[in-house]
Amino acid sequence: MMPLYIEDGLLLTALRITHRGKTVEFSRALVDTGSTGTIVSADQAAKIGIVPEEHDVIYRISGVGGTEFVYAKTVDEVMVGSIRMKHFEVELGAMEYGVEVDAIIGLDCLLHMGAIIDLEALSLYSKKV
């Protein structure tokens, strides 16, 4: 189970990524069922050596916050609370949307983990765990 909190009308939690033996935490991860993909701050990810490489695929994405270019990377592990996803693809970008978030947990991640969002208890959990 992972606690959620609401700040400025946004549903937030934390997310951890581990890649090549190093871990980084994204403390302001927006839980967004309207986002098809999971995206994290490229600057934050660079702290553990996740940087663009020539074989990475670049996408142009659009949303309420505008349009930006991101690159995709399969990381060793994504964790939301005790929910662990191995070899999961995330998108990395500037994340300059006018709101203070450092990651977006999109529908791809929520479906993969079998997420259940309990808004009354402000928690996210999975029956798969």
| Domain regions of the chain by residue span | 2-126
Q: In the prediction, which pLDDT does 68 show?
A: 86
3-state secondary structure of 120: coil
pTM of the model: 0.93
**What is 45-102 written as a DSSP string?**
HHTTT----TTS-EEEEEETTEEEEEEEEEEEEEEETTEEEEEEEEEEE---SSS--S
Q: Tell me the pairing of strands 123-126 and 115-118.
A: antiparallel
Q: In the prediction, which pLDDT does 77 show?
A: 98
Q: In the prediction, which pLDDT does 129 show?
A: 57
Q: In the prediction, which pLDDT does 96 show?
A: 85
Give the fold, CATH level 3, of 2-126.
Answer: Cathepsin D, subunit A; domain 1 (2.40.70)
pLDDT tens for the chain, residues 1 to 129: 899 999 999 999 999 999 999 999 999 999 999 999 999 999 999 999 999 999 998 989 887 667 789 999 999 999 999 999 999 999 999 998 888 999 999 999 999 999 999 999 999 999 875
Q: In the prediction, which pLDDT does 97 show?
A: 80
